[in-house]
Amino acid sequence: MNSSRREALKGTAVLGVAIAAGLLKPGSAWAQQGGWNKAAFDTKTLNDAVKALGGASPAESNLIAITSPDIAENGAVVPFTIESKLPKTENVAILVEKNPNILAANFSIPEGTQPWVNTRVKMGQTSNVIALVKADGKFYYASKEVKVTLGGCGG
Amino acid sequence: MADPMKIRATMAGDKVEVRVLMSHEMETGQRKDAKGAAIPAWFIQNVTATHNGKTVLSAEWGPAVSKNPFLSFRFAGGKPGDKVSITWTDNHGDKRTDEATIS
């Protein structure tokens, strides 16, 4: 794992500069960038995440499908497919309830692109996984419990 | 600097299915090294996919996306021979763009 050591060192250097420049508080680990909703990625609960994404009170929907293993042997790599059948789906997000920060990924779906995404996320422990969909300006969600036998966020 | 992405873009019916494998550590910032010091977060924050200059998918990612991220999506309006281009930007400001031809 030489390469990861090198990368970790490099990361330390960059972060050190950022801290020295007063851009970052240690612990709030990264700089804000254009087009990245830091507030949303800092949230811990579904309602806070929805608020940070500019909505309120998401409704449960059976038109959102989450496809994933029921039991994930390795929490570091858990594959998810999220499909929304809601008309005018604009956004699809994946949230893992018991991760340190709930929001894992947020996809913008322009017109012409299917509301269907497949990606892999880390899960620290057995948790509900929530698919949050913004369709026609409103927020909807579906959730599913995924059991993790080996966590993906440990040290 | 970062390794190239592996991109496959194939026709799936009337849609184009794009599969991307990126090479990135996706360090969460939660882990500690052997000495107990926190390993700083290092992860892809933004991903954009374009086809003929039109954005067909954009994403914001947190550090919870797995190491060497995989992403797959489908869009309409593409045909064999067209190019699909993917760009990611990480929290250090590093960028990488790769392109694939739809087959």
Q: Is residue A153 part of a domain?
A: no
pLDDT for residue B2: 78
What is the pLDDT confidence band of residue B101, given thresholds at 50, 70 and 90? very high
Q: Is the pLDDT of residue A1 over 50?
A: no
Over residues A84-99, mean pLDDT: 96
If asked whether residues A53 and A9 sit together in one domain, one would say: no
- Inter-chain touch B66–A110, beta carbons under 8 Å: no
If asked whether residues A67 and A139 sit together in one domain, one would say: yes
If asked whether residues A99 and A48 sit together in one domain, one would say: yes
Here the CATH number for the domain that contains residue A111 is: 2.60.40.2470
pLDDT for residue A35: 82
Q: Is residue A85 part of a domain?
A: yes
Q: Which of A20-34, B24-38, B76-90 has the lowest mean pLDDT?
A: A20-34
| DSSP one-letter string for A29-81 | -S---TT--HHHHT--SHHHHHHHTT--SPEE-TTEEEE--SEES-TT-EEEE
Sign of the Cα torsion A136, A63, B58, A71 reads: positive
Of all residues in chain B, the percent with pLDDT exceeding 90 is: 90
If asked whether residues A46 and A74 sit together in one domain, one would say: yes
- What pTM was estimated for this model as a whole? 0.83
Q: For residue A102, what is the nearest residue in chain B, using CA coordinates?
A: B64
Q: Is the pLDDT of residue B61 over 60?
A: yes
Size of interface A-B (CB pairs under 8 A): 139
If asked whether residues A134 and A115 sit together in one domain, one would say: yes
Q: Provide the 8-state DSSP code for B24.
A: -
pLDDT for residue A25: 40
What is the pLDDT confidence band of residue A26, given thresholds at 50, 70 and 90? very low
**Considering CB atoms only, which of B27, B66, B73 is closest to A117?**
B73
Q: Is residue A155 part of a domain?
A: no
Distance CA A152, CA B39 (A): 15
If asked whether residues A89 and A139 sit together in one domain, one would say: yes
If asked whether residues A82 and A113 sit together in one domain, one would say: yes
Distance CA B7, CA B86 (A): 8
Overall number of domains in chain A? 2
If asked whether residues A2 and A55 sit together in one domain, one would say: no
**Is A23 or A45 the better-scoring residue by pLDDT?**
A45
The three-state secondary structure class of A13 is helix
Among A37, A63, A141, CA closest to A96:
A141
Distance CA B85, CA A63 (A): 30
Q: Return phi, psi of residue A34, to 5°.
A: -60, 130
pLDDT for residue A87: 95
Over residues A29-55, mean pLDDT: 82
Instruction: For B7-30, write each residue's pLDDT tens digit.
Output: 999 999 999 999 999 999 999 998
Instruction: For A5-15, write each residue's pLDDT tens digit.
Output: 666 655 555 55
Q: Is the pLDDT of residue B62 over 50?
A: yes
The three-state secondary structure class of A147 is strand
If asked whether residues A19 and A49 sit together in one domain, one would say: no
Q: Is the pLDDT of residue B1 over 50?
A: yes
The three-state secondary structure class of B21 is strand
How many C-beta neighbours within 10 Å does residue B85 have? 16
If asked whether residues A58 and A109 sit together in one domain, one would say: yes
Of all residues in chain A, the percent with pLDDT exceeding 90 is: 71
If asked whether residues A52 and A104 sit together in one domain, one would say: yes
Q: Is the pLDDT of residue A155 over 60?
A: no
Matching residue, tokens 């739809």: B102
Over residues B44-69, mean pLDDT: 96
Q: For residue A91, what is the nearest residue in chain B, using CA coordinates?
A: B59
Contact A60, A142 (CB under 8 A): yes
Structural domain for A15, as ranges:
1-31
The three-state secondary structure class of B32 is strand
B60 to chain A: which residues are within 8 Å by CB?
35-37, 40-41, 105-106
Distance CA A93, CA A82 (A): 9
If asked whether residues A59 and A83 sit together in one domain, one would say: yes
Domains and CATH numbers, chain B: 6-101 (2.60.40.10)
Distance from CA of B102 to the nearest CA of A (A): 15
| Cross-strand bridge partners of residue A89 | A135
Q: For residue B90, what is the nearest residue in chain A, using CA coordinates?
A: A33
